[in-house]
Amino acid sequence: MNGENVLVTGANGHVGFVLSKFLAERGYNVRASVRDKNDSELVSNLSSLNVEIVELDLMQPGT
C-alpha cells in the first residue's frame, strides 16, 4: 500500500476515471476533481472507487 496523496483533475472523463481507479487500486489516496458534484451518476461511479471527490473547475479562478 503506497499511501501517497494524489490529485486527478478531470476525473469525470474517461482517462481521469481510469487513472483514478488505477491509482486507488494501488493504494494511493486519490482526490478526484470534477466540475459538478451534483452529477449523481458520475459521483456514484467515482464513489465506488473509494476516492475523495472534490469540485474544481480549473477555468474558474475562484475554485
**pLDDT score recorded for residue 1:** 58
pLDDT values of the chain reduced to their tens digit, one per residue, 63 residues = 578 999 999 898 899 999 999 999 999 999 999 988 887 777 788 888 889 999 887 787 776
Q: What is the pLDDT of residue 51?
A: 92
What predicted TM-score, i.e. pTM, was given to this entire model? 0.81
Look up cell 489516496; give the residue. 29
The dihedral of CA 26, 51, 62, 36: what is its sign?
Answer: positive
pLDDT of residue 63: 64
